[in-house]
Amino acid sequence: METAKVFLLSLLIQGYICISKAQNVCTDQPGSIRVEKKETVTIPCYFSYPENINPTRVRVSWRTAASGRCAQNDFIYNHTDKWLNTSYQWEFTVQGGIMTDRMAAITITILKKLKKSMFCCRIELDNYNQSPDLKWQNQHGTYMLFKGEASVEQPDVVLAVQDEDVAIPCIVHNIKPESIQEVTLRKGTSDVCSENKDVKTRLGKDKIKEYVWQSPQENTWKLLLPIRNVRSSDSGQYCCDVKATPAIPSERQPAHGTQVVTVDPKDSTPEFTATQPGEISAQRGDAVTINCSYTVPPGQTPLWTGVFWRVGGPSGIHAYHPYRLMVDSSYYGRTDLEGLANLRIKDIVETDNATYYCFVMLKFCTGNNSASSVIHYGGGTQLTISGKPQVTSTMKPTHLTTTTTAAHPSEVWKIIVGFVILLILIILCVVLVILKKKGIICEGNTRRDPSSITSGSASLPQGKCENVPMPDIQPEDSTVGQESSDGVLYARLKMEPLQQGAGKKSKEVPSSSDSQVLYATVKHPESNVIYSTVHR
């Protein structure tokens, strides 16, 4: 009898141990994804289970809900059996999914604004050789936040080096900062924000403006809620709650907060290492890749791996972050990951000359949908920039760096047109100078009153033409007669010969009604001074 009791107790203990191990199952999904109508998005689901379990089949299915926990909501898609709930196709279509080692993803095309915008993955392990079969699902799901609508979101992870000051970003979309009434930051250990109650920061309307920063995205602002002098005890989940006028619906507020993960730079025995080269060079205007590799502790499989790059020091700005709004504006849109952890920087500029640090974060499943994370970084890579100098401009407050490149075609045409106009003006000036010197163009007014010409006192005014071209007309053909009065000689001319003579040199003959210009020259008998006057 005692032997039977011992045997039964042994079975119970073995069963308890087996169940305990079996409960080390987890899933991990992004907290939210911003989408537009008719946009195709992919939602990843990472999952983990004990290494000693060898399932015969892994089933992946997806639920949808309006808000809250995933719980017992409707199934929309079975990844393994390719089953689709057609009653939801009027809101979205499922194009299928991908399946790799401990990662599944569903691809959805959003047709219109969803009535149920939260998607949760569920994992089932068919385990015919062992008991029991395992079934578990994500708790908070992934929310679809529509662009153009008021919403609040947070990055999934913020890393921190001990003793540095960090900020938890609370990102608000399409909400004017002046309409925000209150912001509350809560801390806890749960992946679900509604379960985290410890208030760390509460800002009233009078303080909010001190923490608001413009984001590179349009109609988007960042509320940066600080944590000073970070310690390991500051690790945990932080959830942001925004109260505004009008009110923001609960399904557009974060259901999954930001996990703060700290790293101790003095840790001499890290669980794993990250390795990167000590120095690398690049040319201005080119692209460069900075390599980073890491090891995984033996016998462990990460639930999720995150890679981050910081500049200038371990506590510097982010050159790369999985959540792009965490990237510093001077690198925004220019960096990405290449391979597992390599940093790719394009359009290199002078200010990229700095030291880059590779951070690797490993998240391990430690219980039933419970995980812990460790993070370490490499020794830094000095990027040296060479090549012709570039002109860069810094725009505040976003600090966007602009690189001078080849001129746009329209700018080239403007330069050419300007040069042609300048050349024409120079030619015209040269022609005018030549005409003036030859007497073809006269300065000043050449019209003078005959009464102003007196013997021995008049002289040729300066700046007047000394050689005025005369019409090609013989005097005998045009002179009617001469008259003199007070020493001034007048001549009467026939208009017809003048018109005929002018017609020899021009195709257009002025009419007799037009004003005519007549030339007369008089030579003073004693002073040999030539006087000229013009009558119209």
Find the DSSP H helices in 83-140: none
Q: What is the pTM of this model?
A: 0.67
The CATH topology of domain 19-146 is: Immunoglobulin-like (2.60.40)
Nearest Cα neighbor of 350 from 278, 283, 277 is 283
Ordered per-residue pLDDT tens for the chain, 536 residues: 444 333 333 333 333 333 344 468 999 999 999 998 888 999 999 999 888 888 888 899 999 887 777 777 889 998 888 888 888 778 888 887 788 889 999 999 988 888 888 899 999 988 766 556 788 998 889 999 999 999 999 999 999 999 999 999 999 999 999 999 999 999 999 888 989 999 999 999 999 989 998 888 889 999 999 999 999 999 999 999 999 999 998 889 998 899 999 999 888 788 899 999 999 999 999 999 999 999 998 888 899 999 999 999 999 999 999 999 999 999 999 999 999 999 999 999 999 999 999 999 999 999 888 889 999 999 999 999 987 554 444 333 333 333 333 344 445 566 787 778 888 888 888 878 777 776 666 554 444 444 443 444 444 444 444 444 444 444 444 444 555 545 555 555 555 554 555 454 444 444 444 445 455 555 555 555 554 555 44
Residues 6 or more apart whose Cβ sits within 8 Å of residue 238:
154, 158, 168, 185, 186, 187, 196, 200, 225, 257, 258, 259, 260
Q: Which segments within 21-176 are labelled E, that is strand?
A: 26-28, 32-35, 40-48, 57-65, 74-78, 83-84, 92-100, 103-110, 118-126, 134-137, 142-146, 151-153, 157-161, 166-173
On whether the CB atoms of residues 512 and 499 are closer than 8 A, the answer is: yes
Q: Which fold has domain 274-403?
A: Immunoglobulin-like (2.60.40)
Q: Residue 277: count other Cβ atoms within 10 Å of its Cβ.
A: 13
- Residue 536 neighbours by CB under 8 Å, 6+ apart: 447, 515, 516, 517, 518
CA dist 62 → 9, 76, 80, 84, 91 (Å): 39, 6, 11, 10, 15
Specify the amino acid at residue 217.
Q
**Calpha distance 88→77 (Å, rounded):** 10
Phi and psi at 464, nearest 5°, equal -90, 160
Q: How far apart are CA 508 and CA 516, in angstroms?
A: 14
444: left (phi over 0), alpha (psi -120 to 50) or beta: left
pLDDT of residue 368: 87
Q: Tell me the domain boundaries of the chain.
A: 19-146, 151-263, 274-403, 450-535
Are 94 and 106 spatial neighbours (Cβ–Cβ below 8 Å)? yes
- Which amino acid is present at 88? Y
Q: Do domains 151-263 and 274-403 have the same CATH topology?
A: yes
Q: Provide the 3-class DSSP secondary structure of residue 17.
A: helix
Q: Which CATH superfamily is domain 151-263 in?
A: Immunoglobulins (2.60.40.10)
Instruction: State the Cα–Cα distance between residues 475 and 491, nearest whole angstrom.
Output: 10
